[in-house]
């Protein structure tokens, strides 16, 4: 047993990344199951491009949410920030009468501001993140509803512009937003694993007292994480409103639980300290495949939630079993290293 | 006996609301000296070293490190000045590999903040090897290690950063007998490599074998200081009991008490 961390090559990788390995297996099994249920649909490229068109709206906010959860915190308000960002953009575009990049920039800044507010409430005022972000969840949704009076803002007239193609166009039939999701996943993977800032996020989630004692400015790191998350959520909302060519006041609502589910399916425990972007990405893909698969297999759409629920529970159960095995291993290893 | 003071603390006062935790403490550590800081619960031992490491700010007094005066330190500053604090398991991140824990908060990075992983692993290995802690590879998560091994990982920070002063705050609590011996060996290694240390413990039998000098705190005040060579562990035990009961050093030991007889300021 003491030899575990003397393993090399594939064996070691499999051991170290067993959670990710399990998620990958679950993903492949789901894929296989849907393929067997409806081979024509799942051999048709259109099915995949459809999935790629919608999963980014779940995956993108889930990627930055992974950072928040690794730091041992939570955010619910991003669902409303996903509406705040595109609202600011839509209003700017309306005012200018053209799809100016300034609108995107202001939309992202609105998200950044919302994130900063969360960070300050949580660190400087010491409000637990669950409570603080319930507050801002209502606040920003309220702002959106008051400003729009519940009406949508059509964006169809801006459809055939460059800015559209950059964010939600199609390259070889593949929706550009999917590339955005991949690019963001890579950037955030690098931040988490290769940059000092990512290391601090892990340490803060793992042992906050220790992080403070070694001189890490915990408040500043947390505020930055929330600010980034706010901006990324606004970006996801902007992508969604562009894809649908309309801004609607309820935008983002449905992604809150889906994004959180992506993170937890992906093996990032809400207790913080550990977690991977890879897992989150795959978690989002699993949810997307289920949605498309259930629809393609011809049963009623009401089944989607049920299958989501079953898969989330299976994924969590698998993780629970792995972690239990880990605890036994820890006990033995500790004895062996005395 | 080296005579230069690496750290001096003068007239340190710390209040927590109405509670006065430290009532004007003078304290110093010489170069390559291991000081045992002992005293009952609530005597102010931890508070004193937390002020030295910059976790708490003192209300009065000053700190002199390597000849420079400081009113207020931060953990970051203390690190830069070559001070490392070792706590009972508290400054480790259990889910993270040994090498990351060694460098926690002081990562080697390039200009843009990207980690120099290979370099850190090599350096961590070297400083762990100085303590003969090579049983487990440096990418083993700390949660797999025994309590003594974990203390070793923390102490290896002193070698990695070439710290001059290591503060050990109750490093032997909750360790098995064999592991306590290991930690004491690490402290001896610090001494051999020319470093200084402050060793805090309730248990004088843990401190006694490795220290050069004892400083006894009682209710926020230094009441006595002895060279180890002047006392047996039994003498020390008797003194501690007397202080706990009466607040005073027994008369027969007053002769050996360095405190107030030799003012710490004069040592530099």
Shortest CA distance from A271: residue in chain B: B95
For B84-110, write each residue's pLDDT tens digit: 888 876 789 999 999 999 999 889 999
According to DSSP, the residues that pair with B34 across neighbouring strands are: B197
Chain B neighbors of A214, CB-CB under 8 A: 75, 79, 91, 104-106
Nearest to B144 by CA among A192, A315, A43, A334: A334
- Confidence (pLDDT) at B263: 46
3-state secondary structure of A154: strand
Chain B neighbors of A209, CB-CB under 8 A: 90
User: A249, A144 in Cβ contact below 8 A?
Assistant: yes
Question: Beta-strand (E) ranges in chain A?
Answer: 153-154, 170-171, 174-175, 246-247
Angstrom distance (rounded) from CA A27 to CA A35: 12
**Using CB atoms within 10 A of its CB, is residue A327 exposed (0-12), middle (13-18) or buried (19+)?**
exposed
Average pLDDT over residues A327-331: 85
* Confidence bin at B262 (pLDDT 50/70/90): very low
Does B95 contact A214 at a Cβ distance shorter than 8 Å? no
Per-residue CA distances from A93 to A156, A163, A244, B217 (Å) = 12, 12, 16, 70
Any idea what the CATH number is for the domain that residue A75 is in? Answer: 1.10.3470
Angstrom distance (rounded) from CA A320 to CA A318: 5
What rounded mean pLDDT belongs to chain B? 87
pLDDT of A109 higher than 50: yes
Q: DSSP character for A98?
A: S
- Confidence (pLDDT) at B142: 92
* Confidence bin at B261 (pLDDT 50/70/90): very low
* Polymer length in residues for chain A: 338
> Is the ipTM beyond the 0.85 threshold?
yes
pLDDT of A17 higher than 90: no
Of A5, A206, A212, the CB nearest to B93: A206
Q: Is residue A12 part of a domain?
A: no
Nearest to A182 by CA among A315, A50, A282: A282
Residue B117, chain A, CB below 8 Å: the answer is: yes
Residue B108, chain A, CB below 8 Å: the answer is: no
Average pLDDT over residues B59-81: 89
* Confidence bin at A338 (pLDDT 50/70/90): confident
Task: Show Cβ contacts of residue A218 under 8 Å, excluding neighbours closer than 6 positions.
Answer: A123, A204, A208, A211, A212
Q: Transcribe chain B into DSSP letters.
A: ----EEEEEEEEEEEETTEEEEEEEEEEEETT-EEEEE-STTSSHHHHHHHHTTSS--SEEEEEETTEEES---HHHHHHTTEEEEESSTT--TTSBHHHHHHTTS--B-TTSBB-HHHHHHHHHHHHHTTT--SS-TTSBGGGS-HHHHHHHHHHHHHHTT-SEEEEESTTTT--HHHHHHHHHHHHHHHHTT-EEEEE-S-HHHHTTT-SEEEEEETTEEEEEEEGGG--HHHHHHHHHHHHHHSS--HHHHTT--TTTS-GGGG-
Angstrom distance (rounded) from CA A197 to CA A225: 9
Average pLDDT over residues A34-40: 89
SS3 of B3-22: CCEEEEEEEEEEEECCEEEE
Chain B neighbors of A337, CB-CB under 8 A: 135-136, 144-146, 149
Chain A neighbors of B148, CB-CB under 8 A: 338
User: A76, A118 in Cβ contact below 8 A?
Assistant: no
Q: Which residue has the higher pLDDT, B225 or A112?
A: A112
Angstrom distance (rounded) from CA A135 to CA A124: 16
- How big is the A-B interface in CB pairs under 8 Å? 102
- Of the residues A17, A220, A338, the best mutation for testing chain B's interface (the one with the most B CB atoms within 10 Å of its CB) is A338
For A115-171, write each residue's pLDDT tens digit: 999 999 999 999 999 999 999 999 999 999 999 999 999 998 888 888 889 999 999
User: A285, A259 in Cβ contact below 8 A?
Assistant: no
Residue B118, chain A, CB below 8 Å: the answer is: no
Average pLDDT over residues A58-75: 97
- Confidence (pLDDT) at A2: 46
Contacts 24+ apart (CB under 8 A), A172-177: A173/A45, A173/A49, A174/A49, A174/A52, A175/A49, A175/A52, A175/A53, A175/A56, A175/A243, A177/A52, A177/A53, A177/A56, A177/A57, A177/A239, A177/A243
Nearest to A304 by CA among A294, A314, A313: A294
Contacts 24+ apart (CB under 8 A), A140-144: A140/A77, A140/A80, A140/A81, A140/A83, A140/A84, A140/A114, A141/A79, A141/A80, A141/A83, A141/A253, A143/A84, A144/A80, A144/A83, A144/A84, A144/A87, A144/A249
Does B94 contact A329 at a Cβ distance shorter than 8 Å? no
- Confidence (pLDDT) at A299: 81
What rounded mean pLDDT belongs to chain A? 92
Q: Is residue A15 part of a domain?
A: no
> What percentage of residues in chain A have a pLDDT greater than 90?
72
pLDDT of B212 higher than 80: yes
Does A333 contact B85 at a Cβ distance shorter than 8 Å? no
Q: How many domains does chain A have?
A: 1
Give the range of the structural domain holding residue A332, as residue numbers without chain letter: 20-337
For A233-258, write each residue's pLDDT tens digit: 999 999 999 999 999 999 999 999 99
Q: Transcribe A268-280 into DSSP letters.
A: --TT-S---HHHH
CA distance B247 to chain A (A): 33
Chain B, 23 to 62: residues with Cβ < 8 Å from chain A are 53-55
Does B145 contact A333 at a Cβ distance shorter than 8 Å? yes
pTM for the whole structure: 0.89
Angle between helices A255-265 and A78-96 (to 10 degrees): 130
Of A194, A216, A338, the CB nearest to B178: A338
Does A199 contact B100 at a Cβ distance shorter than 8 Å? yes
Q: DSSP character for A338?
A: -
For A191-223, write each residue's pLDDT tens digit: 999 999 999 999 999 999 999 888 899 999 999
Q: Is residue A3 part of a domain?
A: no
Does B104 contact A5 at a Cβ distance shorter than 8 Å? no
Shortest CA distance from A328: residue in chain B: B144
pLDDT of A4 higher than 60: no
Q: Is residue A14 part of a domain?
A: no
Average pLDDT over residues B202-218: 90
Chain B neighbors of A338, CB-CB under 8 A: 146-149, 176, 178-179
Angstrom distance (rounded) from CA B65 to CA B67: 5
* Six token digits for residue B117: 């992983």
- Of the residues B92, B98, B105, B142, the best mutation for testing chain A's interface (the one with the most A CB atoms within 10 Å of its CB) is B105
According to DSSP, the residues that pair with B226 across neighbouring strands are: B214
User: B173, B118 in Cβ contact below 8 A?
Assistant: no
Range with the poorest average pLDDT among A81-90, A173-182, B5-14, B169-178: B169-178
- Confidence (pLDDT) at B71: 84
Q: Is residue A1 part of a domain?
A: no
Angstrom distance (rounded) from CA B46 to CA B69: 21
pLDDT of A7 higher than 80: no
* Confidence bin at A5 (pLDDT 50/70/90): low
Angstrom distance (rounded) from CA A47 to CA A285: 13
């Amino acid at each position: 047993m003491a030899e575990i961390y003397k393993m090399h090559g594939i064996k070691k990788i499999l051991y170290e990344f067993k959670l990710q390995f399990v998620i990958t297996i679950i993903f492949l099994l789901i894929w296989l199951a849907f393929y067997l249920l409806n081979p024509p649909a799942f051999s048709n490229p259109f099915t995949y491009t459809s999935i790629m068109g919608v999963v980014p709206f779940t995956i993108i906010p889930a990627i930055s949410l992974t950072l928040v959860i690794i730091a041992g915190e939570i955010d619910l308000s991003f669902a409303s920030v996903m509406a705040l960002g595109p609202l600011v953009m839509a209003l700017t575009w309306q005012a200018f009468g053209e799809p100016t990049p300034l609108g995107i920039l202001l939309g992202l800044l609105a998200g950044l501001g919302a994130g900063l507010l969360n960070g300050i409430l949580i660190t400087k005022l010491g409000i637990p993140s669950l409570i603080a972000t319930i507050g801002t969840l209502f606040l920003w949704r309220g702002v959106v509803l008051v400003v729009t009076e519940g009406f949508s803002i059509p964006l169809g007239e801006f459809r055939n512009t460059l800015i559209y193609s950059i964010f939600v166009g199609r390259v070889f039939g593949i929706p550009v937003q999917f590339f955005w999701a991949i690019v963001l996943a890579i950037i955030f993977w690098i931040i988490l694993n290769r940059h000092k800032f990512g290391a601090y996020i892990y340490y803060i989630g793992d042992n906050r007292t220790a992080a403070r004692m070694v001189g890490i400015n915990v408040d500043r790191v947390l505020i930055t994480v929330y600010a980034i998350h706010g901006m990324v959520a606004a970006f996801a909302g902007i992508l969604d409103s562009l894809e649908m060519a309309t801004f609607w006041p309820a935008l983002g609502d449905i992604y809150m639980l889906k994004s959180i589910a992506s993170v937890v399916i992906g093996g990032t425990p809400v207790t913080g300290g550990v977690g991977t972007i890879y897992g989150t990405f795959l978690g989002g893909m699993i949810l997307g495949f289920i949605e498309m698969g259930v629809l393609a297999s011809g049963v009623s759409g009401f089944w989607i939630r049920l299958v989501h629920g079953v898969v989330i529970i299976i994924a969590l159960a698998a993780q629970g079993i792995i972690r239990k095995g880990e605890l036994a291993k820890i006990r033995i290893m500790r004895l062996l290293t005395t | 006996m080296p005579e230069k003071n690496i750290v001096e603390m003068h007239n340190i006062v710390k209040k927590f609301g109405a509670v006065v935790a430290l009532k004007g403490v003078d304290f110093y550590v010489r170069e390559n000296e291991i000081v045992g800081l002992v005293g009952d619960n609530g005597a102010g031992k931890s508070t004193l070293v937390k002020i030295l490491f910059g976790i708490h700010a003192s209300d009065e007094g000053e700190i002199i490190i390597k000849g420079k005066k400081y009113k207020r330190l931060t953990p970051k500053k203390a690190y830069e000045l070559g001070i490392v604090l070792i706590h009972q398991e508290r400054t480790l991140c259990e889910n993270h590999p040994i090498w990351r824990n060694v460098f926690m908060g002081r990562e080697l990075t390039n200009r843009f903040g990207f980690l120099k992983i290979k370099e850190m692993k090599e350096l961590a290995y070297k400083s762990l090897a100085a303590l003969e802690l090579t049983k487990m590879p440096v990418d083993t998560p700390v949660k797999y290690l025994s309590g003594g091994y974990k203390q070793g990982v923390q102490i290896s920070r002193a070698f990695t950063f070439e710290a001059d002063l290591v503060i050990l705050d109750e490093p032997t609590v909750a360790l098995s007998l064999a592991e306590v011996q290991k930690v004491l060996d690490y402290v001896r290694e610090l001494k051999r490599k020319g470093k200084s240390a402050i060793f805090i413990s309730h248990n004088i039998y843990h401190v006694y074998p490795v220290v050069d000098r004892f400083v006894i705190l009682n209710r926020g005040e230094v009441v006595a200081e002895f060279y180890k060579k002047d006392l047996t562990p039994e003498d020390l035990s008797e003194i501690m009991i007397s202080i706990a009961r009466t607040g005073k050093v027994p008369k027969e030991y007053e002769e050996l008490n360095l405190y107030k007889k030799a003012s710490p300021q004069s040592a530099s």
